[in-house]
Amino acid sequence: MRDDFTVNQKRALAVLTVVALGFGAYFLRNYVLLIAVSAVLAYLFSPLYRRLRTRMGPGAAAATTLFAAIAVVALPLTGVLFLAFLQISEMVTGIGHWVEQTDLTALGQRLLDSANELLARVPFADFTLTPESVRDAIGRLGQNAGEIALGFARDSVGGIVSTVTGVIIFLYVFLALLTNGDKVLDLFRDLNPLGDKVSDIYLAKIGAMVSATVKGQFIIAACQGVAGAISVYIAGIHNGFFMFVIFLTVLSFIPLGSGIVVIPLGIGMAIFGNPVGGIFVVVFHIIATTNIDNLLRPFLVPRSAHLHPALMLLAVFAGLQMFGFIGIVLGPVLMIVIVTTISVYRVVYRDAPMESITGTHSDDDPDREIPWWRRILPGKPKPKPARSAAR
């Protein structure tokens, strides 16, 4: 049938295929995030499915893998979110009582006097801070923050109908991708006009980034978030432990890390009456929490998934803005696709070194066999000259 098409018909078919793919993306735009989450989980649990497939039928293997995914991902995450939701609710109520019962210390009064002196120097400003106005502002700020957090949690969960619909769609897509993963990869290779070899580069990069972000970076971030929350708890803030775990874990995904919250919090504790606890929080973060990344990253994050810290920062925040919480994973994946595309162009058209794609470094030994990644792009690599006997 391929020979029956003329050149113009083939071009028209290519255009129609691009239009169909674009319309399909627009048609499924409301479920792109759900499909992406299903694809990520299917990729992560596909090794378990393949192992079970050798011992049981495809249906039983898929069902067992699904239950394993729920036990490993859904149940712990739901439990932590529920506990954090309860602690936020208690914190909203507790802030009001704390504001009513707390008096400003002598240090706080001196800070208040200093602030009033600065305000008196501002032209056309006739405003004076009082202990009552400060307490009222802190109370309103805390209650508004808690209400915003609770509203965000409610909006994330959504209505009952949309939640049930999303769960059903997720189950079908997850099982379809799990049992037909090889066919989906073959379809991607067939649709990619750059060929199978370059398609394998993209698939390897995407797979490495997903594994690095979920398996590697998530474990590192979770360990740092738990460590930071424990230090805050030991220092004297016993309310909101699980809220701190979630918040500090999310911050640990970005290069700035949880220190942008923990260090100012420790300094504030040291200034406002808890110097031992505040110093402990800061020192613990610098010595222990920061080095968790240095200790675990070499074992959990492959070099092929490396992104410059600036690109990772942009990818995480852009992903959060576009996709919500799952953007922590999808943002770096999209960024690695962009970087890989640019790298492939530089290798093919500008004779850039292959290390710009693979992220590895070649050995100086000319007798070493040419690695697989050196042969995946068009063009035959030239062997290095042999060493002379005099050397």
Determine, yes or no, domain membership for 321: no
Q: What is the pLDDT of residue 192?
A: 82
Instruction: Say what the pLDDT of residue 73 is.
Output: 76
pLDDT, tens only, 280-317: 999 998 888 888 877 887 777 666 667 777 787 788 78
Count CA within 13 A, CB hemisphere, residue 212.
23
Joined together, the tokens standing for residue 367 give 């007798």
Which residue from 211, 207, 202 is spatially nearest to 300, judged by alpha carbons? 211
Give the total number of structural domains in the chain. 1
Average pLDDT by stretches of 10, the chain with 391 residues: 75 88 88 86 88 88 88 75 70 61 56 69 67 70 64 56 80 89 86 82 82 77 88 83 80 76 86 84 89 78 71 82 79 85 80 61 43 43 45 40
13 alpha carbon, distance to own chain's centre: 38
Domain boundaries, position 179: 14-73+111-191
Tokens 């050995």 — which residue?
Answer: 363
Q: Which structure tokens are listed for 40?
A: 């990520």
Structure confidence at residue 31 (pLDDT): 86
**Domain-embedded: residue 151:** yes
DSSP letter, residue 272: T
Number of other CB atoms surrounding residue 224 within 10 Å: 27
Q: Cα–Cα distances in Å, from 317 out to 122, 136, 253, 256?
A: 36, 33, 10, 12
For residues 202 and 337, give the distance between their C-alpha atoms in angstroms, rounded to a whole number.
7
Residue 239 lies in a domain: no
Q: Are 304 and 205 in contact (CB under 8 A)?
A: yes
The two three-digit tokens of residue 90, written as one number: 């208690």
Quick one: pLDDT at residue 391?
Answer: 40
Instruction: Write down the pLDDT at residue 387.
Output: 43
Q: What's this model's pTM, rounded to 2 decimal places?
A: 0.60
The answer to whether residue 376 sits within a structural domain is: no
Instruction: Indicate whether 1 belongs to any domain.
Output: no
In single-letter form, the type of residue at position 223 comes to C
In a domain, 249, yes or no: no
Q: Is residue 166 exposed (0-12), middle (13-18) or buried (19+ Cβ within 10 Å)?
A: middle
Q: Are 202 and 337 in contact (CB under 8 A)?
A: yes
Crossing angle of helices 131-157 and 75-101, rounded to 10° = 160
Q: What is the pLDDT of residue 365?
A: 42
Return the sign of the alpha-carbon dihedral for residues 76, 77, 79, 80.
positive
Give residue 96's identity as a one-letter amino acid code.
G
Q: What's the DSSP call for residue 301?
A: S
Decide if 237 contacts 248 (C-beta within 8 A): no
Answer whether residue 84 is part of any domain. Answer: no
- 160 occurs within a structural domain: yes
